[in-house]
Amino acid sequence: MSAGPTAAILVAAGAGTRLGTAVPKALVSLAGTPLLLHALRRLEHVDGLTQIVVAVPPAHRGVVRDLLLAATPCAVPVELVDGGATRQASVAAALAVLDPEADVVLVHDAARALAPTSLAERVATSVRAGHAAVVPGLPVTDTIKRVAPPSGEEEAVLVVDTVDRAELRAVQTPQGFARGALVRAHEVGAARAVDEGAAATDDAGLVEALGEHVWMVPGEELAMKITTARDLEVAALLLAEAS
């Protein structure tokens, strides 16, 4: 690959209904700082990064703009775009305004606000080594069962088999891509973006659908996803331990 700059997309448009707050998830406070700012502060120091595009809830774009203006200036330019109805649509909207010179794109979720800079750099380095798509992941520690579809009103479902957890990983963000592969993936999969049930839950899945290989690097506990109030409490503990 060429040695062009790296750009990052930060998805922060989710409502976060499972978190049970009155504001979108990205604006929820963790140790006095919104999740969005936690994520930005860790992304901005990635080596070679020249731009961050943040997909925000359209109704809260002004709030996010004011938040950024009041905060310490980011080390790289930050641009805001209105997020879409699905995560996939939000990424596509951000991808459309990325620096045309950027040849590596990191796609990150504000919900994984504590993902360290070193993780993003690990992913970007692997992309620059020649891998079109790279995701971080952690080994699965629970026993995993595959089950049959529910039958009637019965609560119990049939266990079909036990999956070998040695072959499984829990995927995190930021994910990294050669720009061309990510653009093609979103172009081919664009029809899925409008339907929450069909939309891709991660961009690597769209790249896989092209027949491209996806590679994995070790993830980080700090890159946990904050979805519920309990997750927020766990993140606060992890942040305190890391300080």
Compute, in degrees rounded to 10, the torsion defined by CA atoms 115, 125, 201, 179: 130
For CA atoms 33, 108, 124, 120, give the dihedral sign: positive
Spatial distance between the Cα atoms of 198 and 191, rounded to a whole number of angstroms = 9
pLDDT score, position 33: 97
What DSSP element (H or E) covers 180?
helix 179-188
pLDDT tens figures, 93-140 = 999 999 999 999 999 999 999 999 999 999 999 999 999 999 999 999
Spatial separation of the C-alpha atoms in residues 156 and 123, rounded to whole Å = 41
Predicted pLDDT of residue 126: 97
Q: Which domains, and CATH codes, for the chain?
A: 6-137+171-242 (3.90.550.10)
221: closest CA among 208, 205, 209, 239?
Answer: 239
Q: What is the pLDDT of residue 61?
A: 96
C-alpha span between 203 and 86 (Å, rounded): 12
According to DSSP, the β-strands at 49-56 and 78-82 are parallel
pLDDT given at position 15: 83
* pLDDT recorded at residue 3: 65
Predicted local distance difference test score (pLDDT) of residue 2: 53
Q: Do residues 169 and 101 lie in contact, with contact meaning Cβ atoms separated by under 8 Å?
A: no
pLDDT at 88: 94
Tell me which residues of the chain have a pLDDT lower than 70.
1-3
Sign, Cα dihedral of 73, 79, 85, 86: negative
